[in-house]
């Protein structure tokens, strides 16, 4: 199979965490399909991990505006009285922290795995090795904080020959799985573009998946794939958010296309020049039509989550 990343996080077959699905030792496409079915069945049988509205993954094709919606959703939930932890797991996009008004990045988690630290004090990794990780137990240097919102990042690819982002994805999967949140605490995970994170099992511990869909055939097709995968691993709430919508006619056509693909949508955010300008200048997002529409979507999500 080539390079392999166990979606359950097991280091090898029949080790701790292994569910004996056989995916890592599959040698044919048929064996891989059967192993995937076992993984889906196992994850769907774990409803207690998905019974709350606390861990939200924001996914989509590259360029759809995932980071923008992550920012606007975090602000909207904070306004609704939630303490919000934003986890930047996109190894490419460099500017998410600026959208929240921060002027610097936090220390990236990937430094905990650095192999070039002989001349530096060894970082404390005990907190990351715990079975459960509370927000309060995360060291301050890995967090930025402002008015009830905390921001952390896994890391970025910054140099040629740095290697692939596999270790970042593994760290993200483990962190999200271990994260222990209290009432009125939510974590929003800004995922890497595309569906590779699903193959690595990053979304297996979230209870809500928001797919950001722009007006394009590719974006709608990818949303169908993501919806199928999320349903297969037992994610409780799977919704599409339409973004960068230029007209009511486009919104209507997109909803029709998503309905045909059995993809549920919960709202639309207009193409907003104020958001585009803030993104171009690397500034915090101010008041805008996009922010107001995201507030409405956040309230709808909270209503569905709470059975209202």
Domains of the chain (ranges plus CATH)? Answer: 1-45 (no CATH), 49-305 (3.40.50.300)
In degrees, to the nearest 5, what angle opens at C-alpha 104 toward C-alphas 133 and 89? 45
Looking at the predicted structure, is the pLDDT value of residue 4 above 70? Answer: no
Report strand pairing: 55-60 vs 185-190. parallel
Looking at the predicted structure, is the pLDDT value of residue 279 above 50? Answer: yes
Looking at the predicted structure, is the pLDDT value of residue 263 above 90? Answer: yes
Q: Are 170 and 125 in contact (CB under 8 A)?
A: no
Torsion angle, alpha carbons of 140, 146, 147, 149, to 10: -70
Looking at the predicted structure, is the pLDDT value of residue 56 above 90? Answer: yes
What is the structure's pLDDT at 50? 46
> How much is the CA Rg of the chain, to the nearest whole Å?
19
- Choose among 54, 201, 235, 191: nearest CA to 134: 54
Greater model confidence, 160 or 197? 197
The whole-chain average pLDDT of the chain stands at 85
Looking at the predicted structure, is the pLDDT value of residue 165 above 60? Answer: no
Looking at the predicted structure, is the pLDDT value of residue 49 above 50? Answer: no
pTM for the whole thing?
Answer: 0.81
Structure tokens at 109: 């988690």
Q: What does the buried/exposed string (b/e) look like for 263-295 if buried means 16 or more CB atoms within 10 Å of the residue's CB?
A: bebbbbbbbbeebeebbeeeeebeebebbebbb
Looking at the predicted structure, is the pLDDT value of residue 111 above 50? Answer: yes
Instruction: Give 15-37 pLDDT, tens digit per residue.
Output: 877 888 888 888 888 887 788 77
Greater model confidence, 26 or 163? 26
From 5-19, 168-182, 218-232, the region with the lowest mean pLDDT? 5-19
């Amino acid at each position: 199979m080539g390079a392999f990343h166990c979606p359950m996080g097991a280091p090898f077959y029949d080790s701790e965490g292994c569910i004996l699905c056989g995916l890592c030792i599959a040698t044919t496409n048929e064996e891989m399909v059967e192993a995937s079915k076992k993984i889906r069945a196992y994850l769907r049988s774990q409803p207690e991990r998905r019974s709350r509205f606390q861990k939200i993954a924001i996914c989509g094709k590259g360029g759809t505006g995932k980071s923008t919606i992550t920012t606007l959703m975090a602000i909207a939930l904070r306004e609704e009285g939630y303490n919000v932890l934003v986890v930047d797991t996109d190894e490419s996009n460099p500017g998410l922290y600026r959208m929240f008004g921060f002027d610097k990045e936090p220390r990236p988690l990937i430094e905990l795995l650095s192999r070039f630290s002989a001349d530096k004090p060894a970082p404390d990794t005990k907190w990351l090795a715990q079975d459960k990780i509370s927000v309060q137990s995360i060291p301050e240097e890995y967090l930025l904080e402002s008015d009830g919102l905390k921001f952390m990042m896994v890391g970025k690819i910054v140099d040629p020959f740095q290697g692939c982002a596999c270790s970042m994805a593994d760290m993200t999967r483990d962190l999200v799985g271990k994260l222990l949140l209290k009432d009125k605490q939510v974590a929003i995970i800004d995922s890497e573009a595309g569906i590779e994170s699903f193959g690595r099992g990053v979304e297996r511990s979230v209870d809500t998946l928001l797919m950001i869909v722009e007006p394009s055939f590719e974006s709608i097709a990818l949303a169908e794939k993501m919806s199928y995968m999320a349903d297969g691993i037992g994610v409780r709430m799977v919704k599409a958010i339409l973004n960068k919508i230029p007209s009511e006619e486009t919104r209507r056509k997109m909803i029709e296309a998503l309905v045909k693909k059995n993809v549920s949508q919960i709202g639309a955010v207009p193409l907003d020049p104020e958001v585009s300008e803030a993104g171009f200048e690397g500034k915090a997002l101010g008041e805008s039509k996009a922010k107001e529409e995201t507030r409405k979507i956040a309230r709808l999500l909270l209503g569905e989550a709470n059975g209202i």
